Structure 1
Amino acid sequence: MKVVFAGTPEFAAVALDALLGAGFTVPLVLTQPDRPAGRGMKLQASSVKQRAVAAGIPVAQPQGLKLDGKYAADAAAAREALLAAEADVMVVAAYGLILPQWVLDLPRKGCLNIHASLLPRWRGAAPIHRAIEAGDTETGITIMQMDAGLDTGDMLLVGREPIRADDTTATLHDRLAALGGRLIVEALQAGALTRTPQPAEGVTYAHKIEKAESTIDWRRPAAEIERRLRAFDPFPGGVAMLAGEPLKVWRAELVDGDGEPGVVIATGPVVACGEGALRLTELQRAGGKRGPAAAFMQARPVAAGERFALITG
């Protein structure tokens, strides 16, 4: 079976590795164009491109796939490459471009998506982050037959994964990536699978994470803030202001206590929230490295009575 693969970040690269490890022929990989990254903002290839190049697989990097759009020339070149690949199926994982109908119709067995949620919950761009932020206790991978909608296609396989009390997006991402790789191999090796329409009930949308969401609102319940910090690790973290200095808050733990939101009520530091309190356990000063709060406190002691600013959006 010839499998064209479309994906960009590490989550997708794990699935590509699984396909190659299982012996599938991958004649073509689609991924996002190289992007500036790092301190020097040098162009950097995606994780998927790096894997494909190492495996000797041809790579296409169109900026768009609409044949009549702004990047029509890119789309036309991608179409020629896809036609030449003569794929039986396309596997898509966190690619980053919407597939127009001509792409969906091209492979003989259509396009399969590896989606990191239990559909129809958390359709959209950031299902791992939003599941942790919402306090879900379970998530998983859905292998879906793609259609023209946003994550609305029929389900082929579902794998479940518990969300642990200390999970961050980084830790949960790695387990789901591995699960996605196993399930897509299982789906392709199975041949014919039963297509199950998604339920009409329980649809939620995982909107893209915006950097502005990183600002900590101490008026919110402590449990909600703690979940958000884990959901926003490794990006964008939590941002707080103390005596005019911006700090990154990476981790915190729930503790008993109450007081005016944003006020440090005990050493640790322990900060009062709208409900309950948080002991901040991992912090980062501007230009510094993230690390334990104890190390931070040696360089910049935080005393009871100090106040984190209440920043309004």
Structure 2
Amino acid sequence: MRIVFAGTPEFARLALDALIAAGHEIPLVLTQPDRPSGRGLKLTPSAVKQAALAANIPVCQPRSLKLDGKYPEEAQAAREALLAAEPELLVVAAYGLILPEWVLALPSYGCFNIHASLLPRWRGAAPIQRAIEAGDDETGVTIMLMDAGLDTGAMLFTRALPITAQHSAAVLHDELAALGAKAIVQAIDELQRGTLVSQPQPQEGVTYAAKLDKAESPLDFSQSAAVLARRIRAFDPVPGATLHLPGLAEPVKAWQALAIDTSHGGAPGDVLQADAQGIDIATADGVLRLLELQKAGGKRQPVAAFVQGWQKPS
């Protein structure tokens, strides 16, 4: 098919690569403008732009697609590029811009979105992280026919994936990106065969995955150890979960932890013990054993290395 692709991060790049490998014609790619990155804040192209340029696909990077918005000239240029591309289908994956109705109505087969959850659960910005944080047993990807709402369109194709205690957001992201890349190719195959079925999202079970906020980073030990262990996994790599340890002026980041269902005599937040096996913190329900940490300005360290350089007050 003749497909315009819209996406920005690594999650989307895998889908673009899969569409190219499947033999689809990609006349145009939409992606976010280059952003400052690294210590030198050098303008860096998105993962999708890099993949598109490597495949000699034209790239368009408007700051907005709203013709009556803040950047009308950029939106109009994008409109002309889209019209010239004459797409049968627009595939969207983590693009980062709202698609106005004129975009949704342009392709003859509409706009397919690769969403990293089993809709209608976890509509919105951070479905991967919120699924881990909530303790969901499974997640997956949904290929959705986009409409004007927030992830409210009809479902076309779903694939599920179990969530385990070893899944950080980073690990789950990579698995879902690969799953989404396969799913979009399979969905388009079914579309071309005439076997793709559209199903409205159920009204029950709707939840919203709010955007991650750095203010959520500090761990609250009045919660249970199980909840805190999930938050640590959910916030890896962004925004990171933080806590204060005695003897350290700056908060540290916790990257791995284990929830231990046991009673203790400490107050929430008390350090119960610290050795090469872990730093045990009292919570409202159970003990949180920290296994990998990072001091401010330092690197991630296994707890055995961390405790060697931590002078805990007696």
* Category of TM-score, reference length = shorter chain: over 0.9
- Are residues 1:220 and 2:230 paired? no
CA-to-aligned-CA distance 1:79-117 (integer Å, 9 cap, x gap)? 000001011000000000110000000011110000000
Q: Name the residue aligned to 1:48.
A: 48
Tell whether the 8 Å contact from 1:269 to 1:302 is kept in structure 2 after alignment: no
Match of 1:260 among 249, 260, 267: 267
Q: Following TM superposition, by how much is the alpha carbon of 1:57 offset from its aligned partner in structure 2, in angstroms?
A: 0.4
1:135-154 to 2 correspondence within 5 Å?
Answer: 135-154=135-154
Q: Following TM superposition, by how much is the alpha carbon of 1:302 offset from its aligned partner in structure 2, in angstroms?
A: 3.5
Tell whether the 8 Å contact from 1:120 to 1:202 is kept in structure 2 after alignment: yes
RMSD over aligned Cα, in angstroms? 1.0
Q: Name the residue aligned to 1:98.
A: 98
1:19-34 to 2 correspondence within 5 Å?
Answer: 19-34=19-34
CA distance in structure 2 between the aligned counterparts of 1:54 and 1:173, rounded to whole angstroms: 23
1:57-76 to 2 correspondence within 5 Å?
Answer: 57-76=57-76
Match of 1:291 among 286, 296, 301: 301
SS class of match (1:107): coil
Q: Following TM superposition, by how much is the alpha carbon of 1:16 offset from its aligned partner in structure 2, in angstroms?
A: 0.4
Count of residue correspondences: 304
Tell whether the 8 Å contact from 1:122 to 1:205 is kept in structure 2 after alignment: yes
CA distance in structure 1 between the aligned counterparts of 2:41 and 2:218, rounded to whole angstroms: 25
Q: Following TM superposition, by how much is the alpha carbon of 1:249 offset from its aligned partner in structure 2, in angstroms?
A: 1.0
Which amino acid in the other structure matches residue 167 of structure 1? H
SS class of match (2:150): coil
SS class of match (1:141): strand
Deviates more, 1:77-86 or 1:260-269: 260-269
CA distance in structure 1 between the aligned counterparts of 2:119 and 2:106, rounded to whole angstroms: 25
1:106-117 to 2 correspondence within 5 Å?
Answer: 106-117=106-117
CA-to-aligned-CA distance 1:224-263 (integer Å, 9 cap, x gap)? 0000000000111111122432211111111234220111
Match of 1:250 among 252, 255, 258: 255
Which amino acid in the other structure matches residue 203 of structure 2? A
CA distance in structure 2 between the aligned counterparts of 1:257 and 1:59, rounded to whole angstroms: 58
SS class of match (2:199): coil
1:222-241 to 2 correspondence within 5 Å?
Answer: 222-241=225-244
SS class of match (1:228): helix
CA-to-aligned-CA distance 1:51-79 (integer Å, 9 cap, x gap)? 00111000000000100010111110000
Deviates more, 1:192-201 or 1:241-250: 241-250
CA distance in structure 1 between the aligned counterparts of 2:143 and 2:311, rounded to whole angstroms: 50
- Provide the TM-score with structure 1 as the length reference: 0.95
CA distance in structure 1 between the aligned counterparts of 2:282 and 2:216, rounded to whole angstroms: 20
User: Identity of paired residues, percent?
Assistant: 62
Which amino acid in the other structure matches residue 13 of structure 2? A
Q: Name the residue aligned to 1:197.
A: 200
CA distance in structure 2 between the aligned counterparts of 1:228 and 1:40, rounded to whole angstroms: 31
CA distance in structure 1 between the aligned counterparts of 2:115 and 2:168, rounded to whole angstroms: 18
1:172-183 to 2 correspondence within 5 Å?
Answer: 172-183=172-183
CA distance in structure 1 between the aligned counterparts of 2:268 and 2:289, rounded to whole angstroms: 13
Gap regions ≥5 residues in structure 2 = none
SS class of match (1:198): coil
1:274-285 to 2 correspondence within 5 Å?
Answer: 274-285=284-295
Q: Following TM superposition, by how much is the alpha carbon of 1:167 offset from its aligned partner in structure 2, in angstroms?
A: 0.4
CA distance in structure 2 between the aligned counterparts of 1:302 and 1:16, rounded to whole angstroms: 50
Tell whether the 8 Å contact from 1:110 to 1:145 is kept in structure 2 after alignment: yes
Which amino acid in the other structure matches residue 262 of structure 1? G
Q: Following TM superposition, by how much is the alpha carbon of 1:301 offset from its aligned partner in structure 2, in angstroms?
A: 3.9
Gap regions ≥5 residues in structure 1 = 306-313
SS class of match (1:239): strand
Tell whether the 8 Å contact from 1:257 to 1:272 is kept in structure 2 after alignment: no
SS class of match (2:175): helix
CA-to-aligned-CA distance 1:244-292 (integer Å, 9 cap, x gap)? 3221111111123422011111123111011111111001111100110
